[in-house]
Chains A and B, each alone.
Chain A
Amino acid sequence: MRFLPLFALFLTLPLLAACADDAGEPAPDAEVADAEGPLVIYSGRRDVLVGPLVDRFRQATGLDVEVRYGTDAELIAALQEEGQASPADILWTNTAGALGAAGNAGLLAPLPDSLLGRPAAFAPSSGRWVPVTTRFRVLAYSPQRVDTTALPASVMDLPQRTDLRGRIGWTPTYSSFQDFVTALRLVHGEEAAARWIEGMKALAPKAYESNTPMLEAMAAGEIDVALTNHYYVLRMQAGQDTTAAAGPPPVAMHHFAEGDAGNLALVTGAGLLNTATHRDAARRFLAFLLSPEAQAFAAEEVNEYPVVPGAALPERFLPFDRAVALSPSIDFERLGDLEATLQLLRKQGLL
């Protein structure tokens, strides 16, 4: 056919590009002046949460900033396909696992100690990204329908609660849950983690795509307990619903015993990309995220814990030290071992 050579040409172009792009050499971190144009952030966190912070940075520094929104994985896939030609400077994600994956793919540049020193408690050993906020896993429950005295002390006891059959919600496809399963594997071993998942499956839990629909479902009476992150519960309790009926809030949170894997602390973070052409502005932005103003905003508006010590927290939060004491002590970088968790979830048919 006449057009065969033309088709062949168009087919080989992506082939060549795809073969050529895989994780280019990290650029030397020489002190080069920033290029023209705006600072470009790829954000896996949503607009309604990130927009106001970016606006404040713009006003405070007068620098031009543009944000591309998406999910962590969409953006990482895009970054890998873009290769060296990527216009992005900063990657700001929803989970440490995503940053770990980005680091493994060679996308991130090392950061100076001045940035990593401040949130030292949560800083990763690789030094390739900086934590920005902290969140904790909790068990959300419906106060109207669940007896608080009967809630389990350990997340490992949950599969034995046959009275909750069909009334449990979880989010096996969501990053925070996967990080939690990784923690289960690290703390209790592979066998126990696999048995836990099988035990949970026997209770016919309802799988939601993400936490917000799950808590909405709880408020709507579809489920009674759910494994989720603390700030979803706080957000729901402080919701914008002005016509809500008076009475107890539709959701509440339960913490497991101290050190239990069910109280896992997780961080969100941001990293500097190897392809960045506005390094100076990028470092200033990362420093801004760790400033008292931004950390207080995160607590007040987004209901997440700060990573920098000494910030004042609103009343509705547990004291920071208490929350940290509840969570198991694990090296955050080890949570980056996502591949084995995904294999486990696939084997169990959840993914």
Chain B
Amino acid sequence: MASGSSLLPVQARALPRLFPRPYLWGPAALVATGVLVPLGYLVVRAFEAEPGELAALLLRWRNLRLLGNTLGLTAGVLAAATALALPLAWLVARTDLRGARVVTLLGVLPLAVPGYVMAYALLGMTGTNGLLARLLDVGWPRPSGYPGALAALTLYTFPYLFLNLRTALLGLDPALEEAARSLGYREAEVARRVVLPQLRPAFLAGGLLVALHVLGDFGVVSLMRFETFSYAIYLQYAAAFDRVYAAWLALMLLGLTGALLALEARLLRGRRYARTGGGAARHPRRARLGGWAVPAYAFAALVALASVGLPVATIVYWLGRGTEAVAWGDLGAALWDSARASLPAALLAAGLAVPVAYLGVRKPSGPSRLMERVAYLGYATPPLAFALALVVFSLAAVPFLYQTLTLLVLAYALHFLAEALGPVRSALYQAPPRVEEAARALGRPPLAAFFAATFPLLRRGLGVSAAFVFLSAFKELPLTFLLSPLGFHTLAMGVWGAAGEALFSVAAPYALVLILTSSVLVGLLLRGT
């Protein structure tokens, strides 16, 4: 079949290539400015510093140690998360594992557990007065430092990798593998040389999210007493009333993130993953497990137990220890507050992700790629700095929005947009551009062609995107504390407030409702895809 470009109507070709279609560049520009505002704020605050003091603050061995800790933790969590996510995704997408849906659900459920709850649970299980000590008379030492932070962070971030990998594996075209087999490759080599390389965008997208989560986390590392960059930033705000030093640390962290993003961009450059020949893609063939079924189930069960069973068991234990009745009214109100902020944010983020990802994948150019990277910067900005920046900006530009639900929803959507980008990008990489070009050739305007040809292929990716953002917003804390309307009380705030005072039996119902609601949503979305 001849290439499509010579069949395009004349007026379509006369459209200047670089001029933006407003429905593409408009949302993308909104995202970019929404994320550059916090950056501008940090720069302004940073330059309030006195040069002499600043040199003393920045050029310290301590900062180097923080950097080493942060990088070491990130690398460790990436490795551990891959070790959990890749086998699970393979089992679920490429083998005939019975109950694959259940395993998928279990692989995604840890997203429902906030990191600080995971850390509290790990601490609550161990120690001389922990759950294990009470039940089994075994006093395990409490996890702390690097191993503790590694365990807690891996257990609740591996689902990002798992989902991205699973989506990619399910969308693979078997034609390539069959061609490889017909050329004489054995199964293992097919897997290594044909399948794994095609997973690169999914791995990079999911891995980037995991890395950004580790870079930005301060709840887990503070409970595990492991000092990283973002914990140091949080300390400057919280302990030292110092917005200036905090701004400098935040800028250093963003510099680190920028380096990561540049690395990822380089690794992705110039790769094509969509089908180029004629015909249509089929579902990949599923391998038979046979004797491997039992170890496979055991592995899945172990991962589920550690990542979901553990926190839930600890929370139920705390619930049982409580003496006061649960305040159902308060609990219901908290659930409503959490939901009415997270749901709109999830939909908005998924909606904004499409034009941004489309620009990055289909119209790669300097500005469009930059715009995508800027979205990731928004994710990497320490949430406290993000919130303060939005306080300044909204009071200056749109004061009627200050401390309203709208601003909170916007903040969630812009901050978590990076999570929505990954699945949509992976899906776009696999959607062949030729179908859309053919629709254009048949006379449809660009937007209609997109909706007819490409959008249906993005459904799975969009569902995953919205789920990611909902789950993140549902358990979010710093943005909620500073930007929510007065009297707004979410489930996450309830858990944090009580757990911080060791009133675990008060925190338990909130934590349980949070996890249950998130789980239900995860289940529903997985069914939809």
Contact = CB atoms under 8 A, between A and B. Distances in A.
Interface stretch (B169-177, B232-240, B350-358): B232-240
Interface stretch (B122-130, B428-436, B441-449): B122-130
Nearest to A217: B142
A82 B128 CA distance: 46
Nearest to A221: B128
Contacts of A69: 481, 493, 497
A343 B242 CA distance: 12
Contact of B321 (A14, A49, A241): A241
A178 B393 contact: no
A242 B481 contact: no
Contacts of B391: 78, 81-82
A10 B500 contact: no
Interface in A220-271: 220-222, 235-236, 239-243, 250
Interface string A301-328: 0000000000000000000000000000
A79 to B, nearest CB: 10
Contacts of A14: 37, 40-41, 44, 389, 392-393, 396
A7 B323 contact: no
B142 A220 contact: yes
Q: Chain B, interface size: which category? A: 35 or more
Contact of B36 (A11, A219, A250, A349): A11
Interface in A75-122: 76-78, 80-83, 85, 87, 98, 101
A70 B486 CA distance: 12
Given A38-B486, A221-B139, A349-B62, A18 B32 contact: no
Given A14-B37, A69-B493, A81-B388, A209 B222 contact: yes
A106 B211 CA distance: 41
Interface string A332-348: 00000010001000100
B403 interface: yes
Given A69-B493, A78-B482, A216-B123, A173 B388 contact: no
Interface of chain A: mostly helix, strand, loop or mixed = helix
Contact of B367 (A1, A235, A351): A1
A194 B389 CA distance: 37
B94 to A, nearest CB: 43
A11 B40 contact: yes
Interface stretch (A40-48, A150-158, A181-189): A40-48
B511 to A, nearest CB: 15
From B129, B482, B500, B502, residue with most partner A Cβ within 10 Å: B502
Nearest to B498: A48
B322 interface: yes
Interface in B371-410: 384, 388-389, 391-393, 395-397, 399, 402-403
A25 B493 CA distance: 34
Nearest to B243: A77
A10 B37 contact: yes
Contacts of A98: 241
A32 interface: no
B238 A73 contact: yes
B36 A240 contact: no
A73 B497 contact: no
A53 interface: no
Interface string A140-151: 000000000000
A66 interface: yes
A208 interface: yes
A85 B500 contact: no
Contacts of B505: 240
B391 to A, nearest CB: 5
A40 B487 CA distance: 10
B181 interface: no
Nearest to B389: A14
Interface residues of A, number: 73
Contacts of A10: 33, 36-37, 40
A64 to B, nearest CB: 10
From A49, A70, A81, residue with most partner B Cβ within 10 Å: A81
Contacts of B128: 219-221
A310 B197 CA distance: 76
Interface in B110-144: 123, 126-130, 134, 139, 141-142, 144
Contacts of A78: 388, 391, 482
B497 A216 contact: no
A77 B388 contact: yes
A340 to B, nearest CB: 12
B121 to A, nearest CB: 13
B321 A175 contact: no
B275 interface: no
A174 B500 CA distance: 13
B482 to A, nearest CB: 6
B200 interface: no
A70 B142 CA distance: 28
B239 A17 contact: no
Given A40-B486, A69-B493, A77-B237, A240 B323 contact: yes
A206 B241 contact: no
Interface string B22-60: 000100010011001100110011000000000001001
A33 interface: no
Contact of A13 (B25, B45, B60, B397): B397
Interface string B197-228: 00000000000000000000000001101000
A7 B321 contact: no
Interface in B56-89: 57, 60-62
B33 A101 contact: no
A70 B396 contact: no
Given A14-B389, A77-B388, A351-B239, A346 B225 contact: no
15 contacts: A3-B32, A18-B44, A18-B45, A46-B501, A70-B481, A73-B238, A77-B237, A77-B241, A83-B395, A221-B128, A221-B139, A235-B502, A236-B502, A240-B323, A342-B240
